[in-house]
Amino acid sequence: MPILDASTATELHDLSAMIRAHPRFAEVRNAYVNAGLKLYENEPALNKLMLEAGRMLLFGVVLCLAAAHDDADRTSWATVTRLQNSLAAFGVASPRQVELIVARLVQAGFLRLEAAPADRRARLVMPTQALLDHDLDWLEANFLPLHMMFPEPGYPLPIRRDPNFQKAQRIAALGLLPWAGRIMGENPPMLPFLRRYAGGLVLMKLIQASAETAPGGITFTDLGASFAVSRTHIRALLEEAEALALVELTGRGRRQVRLLPPLLAAYDQFTADSMAAHELTHRMALEAIADSG
C-alpha cells in the first residue's frame, strides 16, 4: 500500500495540480457533485446514517481496515480501539462518539461486531454485505469524474463495480488516510460544512445550484427537503458560513443562498485533492491485482 511519506505527498500535490488545471475540470466537478448527490439526495433512511462527517469517515476507515485485516497479524486487526485511533486524526468524532456510531450502524445492518479468531476478547468491526454494496456505489461515483477526464485507458474496474478492485483499492487507501486528514485541514472554508450534520451534502447542493439555477440561489426549503433536515439547522449552518464570507443570504427573510467564490475555490481544491488520491490508489490497486495473478 502507498504510505504518505514526503515523496508520495509531492506526487499527490502534483496530481492534484494537474487535475485542477485540466480544461474539463469545471464540467467534471459538476459531474462529481451530481454523482455524490445521487447516492444520498431524497434518501431519508440512508441520510440519517450518512449525513454526519464522522459516520461517513468511519465507513471509509472500516472498509480500509477490514480489507487489510489478517488474522495472523494482530497489528492489522480492525478493532474498535484501532478505529478510534484512526479517526482521532480527523477531529470529527471522540472515542465515545465512535462507539455510539458503531452501535448505531450495527443496529442498521451496515456493520457487525465479531470476536477475533486468535483472541476472542478483541472485538472486530467488520462491514456487512450492505455496506460493501454501498461502497461499490460510492467507488463508482467517485471514479466517474476521473473516467470522464481521462477516458483512455479510463477506470473500467470501479465503473463496473468490480469487487476485486474494491478490496485492492481499499487496502491501498489505508496508507493514504493521513492525506484525507490533510486535505480537510488545508481547506478551512470546507470545515464549517464538514463538521456539521448534513453539511457536506448541503455544500454539494449549493455547488450544484450554482451551476444549474438562476443567480438568485437556492432556498432553505429546497436544501431541507433534499436531505430531510430542518430549516432551522440549515439556517444555523449557513449563517455561520455567511459570517465567514463563504455564502450570501438574500431575498425575503434571507432564505435564499448564494455561494461565494472563496467557497467554490476551496471545494475545487478539495475535489482535485480527492481525485488525486483516487488516481494513486487506482494505480496501486491495479498493480496489486496484477501481482496476485
Which domain CATH number covers 58? Answer: 1.10.10
- Assigned domain for 206 exists: no
- Assigned domain for 121 exists: yes
Q: Give how far Cα 153 sits from Cα of 146, 147, 168, 172, 234, Å.
A: 11, 9, 19, 20, 42
Which range of residues forms the domain containing residue 81?
Answer: 6-188+264-291
Q: Give how far Cα 243 sits from Cα of 163, 189, 236, 252, Å.
A: 45, 11, 11, 19
> According to the model, what pLDDT value does residue 168 have?
96
How far is 198 from 206, CA to CA, in rounded Å? Answer: 12
> According to the model, what pLDDT value does residue 120 have?
78
Cβ atoms 145, 35 nearer than 8 A: yes
> According to the model, what pLDDT value does residue 57 have?
79
> According to the model, what pLDDT value does residue 90 have?
73
Roughly how many angstroms between the first and final C-alpha of the chain, as a whole number? Answer: 17
> According to the model, what pLDDT value does residue 92 have?
64
- Assigned domain for 223 exists: no
Evaluate the CA torsion angle 7, 8, 10, 15 in order and state its sign.
Answer: positive
Q: Report H helices in the chain.
A: 6-20, 25-40, 44-50, 53-67, 80-88, 95-108, 129-149, 156-159, 163-174, 177-185, 191-194, 199-212, 220-227, 231-243, 261-291
- Assigned domain for 237 exists: no
Domain count across the chain: 1
> According to the model, what pLDDT value does residue 50 have?
57
The Cβ of residue 126 has, within 10 Å, a number of other Cβ atoms equal to 17
pLDDT tens-digit map of 140-167: 999 999 999 999 999 999 999 999 999 9
> According to the model, what pLDDT value does residue 154 have?
95
Cβ atoms 123, 113 nearer than 8 A: yes
- Assigned domain for 196 exists: no
- Assigned domain for 90 exists: yes
- Assigned domain for 253 exists: no
- Assigned domain for 112 exists: yes
> According to the model, what pLDDT value does residue 286 have?
96
- List the chain residues with pLDDT less than 50: none
> According to the model, what pLDDT value does residue 20 have?
96
